[in-house]
Amino acid sequence: MRTGTDRRRRAFLTGATVAALLAATMTTAGPARAADPYITVASTTSTDNSGLFRDILPKFEARTGIGVRVVAVGTGAALKLGAKGDADVVLVHARAAEDRFVADGFGVDRRDVMYNDYVVVGPKDDPAGIEGMTDAAAAFARIAAKGVPFSSRGDDSGTNKKELQLWQAAGIDPKPHSGTWYFETGSGMGATLNTAAGRGTYALSDRATWLAFRNRAGLAIAVEGDRRLFNPYGVMLVNPAKHGHVKVKEARMFMDWLTGPAGQAAIAAFRPGGRQLFFPNAKNATN
Amino acid sequence: MTELSDAFVAAFRLVVSLDPALGEIVLRSLQVSLTAVAAASLVALPLGAALALLRFPGRGALTVLVNAMMGLPPVVVGLVVYLLLSRSGPLGVLGLLFTPAAMIVAQTVLILPIVASLARESSEGLWSEYREQLASFGVGPGRAIGTVLWDGRHALATAVLAGFGRASAEVGAVMIVGGNIDHVTRVMTTAIALETSKGDLALALGLGVVLIVISISVNAAIYGLGRSRRREGA
Amino acid sequence: MPAPSILPLTVSSLRFEAGGRRLIDDVGFTLDAGRRSVILGPNGAGKSLTLRICHGLLRPTAGTVRWQGGADVRARQAMVFQRPVMLRRTAWANLSYALSVRGVPRRERAGRIAEALRRAGLLDIARTPARLLSVGEQQRLALARAWLLEPEVLFLDEPTASLDPSATRAVEAIIQAIHAAGAKIVLTTQDMGQARRLGDEVLFLYGGRLLEHAPAERFFETPATPQARAFINGELYEDWN
Q: A76: distance to nearest CA of chain B, Å?
A: 15
Q: Is C98 on the interface with B (CB under 8 A)?
A: yes
Size of interface A-C (CB pairs under 8 A): 14
Residue of A18, A54, A194 with shortest CB distance to B38: A18
- Its domain, for residue B200, covers 2-232
Q: Is C18 on the interface with A (CB under 8 A)?
A: no
Q: How many domains does chain B fold into? A: 1
The topology under which CATH files domain A38-115+233-279 is D-Maltodextrin-Binding Protein; domain 2 (3.40.190)
Test mutation, C80, C88, C131, C134, chain B, max B CBs within 10 A = C88
Q: What is the pLDDT of residue C143?
A: 96
Size of interface B-C (CB pairs under 8 A): 44
Q: Is B138 on the interface with C (CB under 8 A)?
A: yes
Test A70 with B182 for CB contact under 8 angstroms: yes
Which whole-number Å values give the CA distances from A119 to A122, A173, A208, A209, B224, in the listed order?
Answer: 10, 20, 10, 10, 55
Q: Which residues of chain A have pLDDT under 70?
A: 1-35, 284-287
Q: Is C109 on the interface with A (CB under 8 A)?
A: yes
* Chain B neighbours, 3+ Cβ pairs < 8 A: A, C
Helix, strand, coil percent content, chain A, rounded in steps of 5: 45, 20, 30
Test C92 with A7 for CB contact under 8 angstroms: no
The crossing angle, in degrees rounded to 10, of helices A136-146 and A158-169 is 80
Test B232 with C88 for CB contact under 8 angstroms: yes
Q: How far apart are CA B156 and CA B149, in angstroms?
A: 7
Residue of C52, C81, C98 with shortest CB distance to B137: C98
- Which CATH class name applies to A117-229? alpha beta
Q: A287: distance to nearest CA of chain B, Å?
A: 30
Test A3 with C110 for CB contact under 8 angstroms: no
C-chain residues near B148 (CB < 8 A): none
Q: Is B234 on the interface with C (CB under 8 A)?
A: yes
Domains A38-115+233-279 and A117-229 share a fold: yes
Q: B178: distance to nearest CA of chain C, Å?
A: 42
- Which CATH class name applies to C9-86+152-232? alpha beta
Q: What is the pLDDT of residue B230?
A: 61
Residue of A22, A193, A212 with shortest CB distance to B38: A22
Test B132 with C81 for CB contact under 8 angstroms: yes
Test A3 with C106 for CB contact under 8 angstroms: no
Closest to B132 measured CA to CA, from C155, A31, A214: C155
Test A190 with B199 for CB contact under 8 angstroms: yes
A275: left (phi over 0), alpha (psi -120 to 50) or beta: beta
Q: C155: distance to nearest CA of chain A, Å?
A: 28
Residue of B99, B104, B199 with shortest CB distance to A194: B199
Q: Which residues of chain C have pLDDT under 70?
A: 1-3, 70, 238-241
Residue of B nearest to C73 (CA): B138
C-chain residues near A4 (CB < 8 A): 93, 96, 106, 109
Test mutation, B123, B127, B137, B150, chain C, max C CBs within 10 A = B137
Residue of C nearest to A4 (CA): C93
Q: Is B197 on the interface with A (CB under 8 A)?
A: yes
The residue extents of the domains of chain C are: 9-86+152-232
Q: C230: distance to nearest CA of chain B, Å?
A: 33
Q: How far apart are CA B200 and CA B57, in angstroms?
A: 54
Q: Is B92 on the interface with A (CB under 8 A)?
A: yes
Residue of B nearest to C133 (CA): B233
Test A29 with B98 for CB contact under 8 angstroms: no
- Contact residues for C90 (Cβ-Cβ < 8 A; gap 6+): A3, C126, C127, C128, C129, C130
Q: How far apart are CA B202 and CA B208, in angstroms?
A: 10
A-chain residues near C109 (CB < 8 A): 1, 4
Size of interface A-B (CB pairs under 8 A): 98
pLDDT by residue, tens only, chain B of 234 residues: 567 787 778 777 877 777 787 888 889 999 999 999 999 999 999 999 999 999 999 999 999 999 999 988 999 999 999 999 998 889 988 889 999 999 999 999 999 999 999 999 999 999 999 999 999 999 999 999 999 999 998 889 889 988 998 999 999 999 999 988 888 899 999 999 888 888 787 778 888 888 888 888 877 877 776 676 666 555
The crossing angle, in degrees rounded to 10, of helices B153-169 and B201-232 is 180
Test A18 with B99 for CB contact under 8 angstroms: no
Q: How far apart are CA B196 and CA A140, in angstroms?
A: 27
- Enumerate the H helices of chain A as residue ranges: 2-29, 45-49, 52-64, 75-83, 95-103, 136-146, 158-169, 189-199, 207-212, 248-259, 261-269
The residue extents of the domains of chain A are: 1-30, 38-115+233-279, 117-229
CATH value at residue B68: 1.10.3720.10
Degrees, nearest 5: CA angle A165-A169-A175: 60
Q: Is C220 on the interface with B (CB under 8 A)?
A: no
Test C109 with A1 for CB contact under 8 angstroms: yes
Q: Is C58 on the interface with B (CB under 8 A)?
A: no
> How much is the pTM?
0.81
Q: How far apart are CA A30 and CA B185, in angstroms?
A: 10
Test B181 with A70 for CB contact under 8 angstroms: yes
Q: Which residues 6-65 in chain A show a CB within 8 A of chain C?
A: 7
Test C92 with A3 for CB contact under 8 angstroms: yes
Which whole-number Å values give the CA distances from A115 to B181, C74, C105, C183, in the listed order?
Answer: 23, 83, 77, 94
Q: Is B225 on the interface with C (CB under 8 A)?
A: no
Query: What is the four-CA torsion angle of A59, A60, A64, A70, rounded to 10 degrees?
Result: -130
Q: How far apart are CA C108 and CA C99, in angstroms?
A: 9
Test B132 with C52 for CB contact under 8 angstroms: yes
Kindly provide the ipTM of the predicted complex, given to two decimals.
0.90
Which whole-number Å values give the CA distances from B53 to B122, C58, C95, in the listed order?
Answer: 11, 16, 23
Q: Is A210 on the interface with B (CB under 8 A)?
A: no
Q: What is the pLDDT of residue A20?
A: 52
Q: Is A241 on the interface with B (CB under 8 A)?
A: no
Helix, strand, coil percent content, chain B, rounded in steps of 5: 80, 0, 20
Q: Give C36-86 pLDDT, tens digit per residue.
A: 999 999 988 999 999 999 999 999 999 999 998 767 888 899 999 999 999
Other residues' Cβ atoms within 10 Å of the Cβ of residue B5: 10
Q: B26: distance to nearest CA of chain A, Å?
A: 13
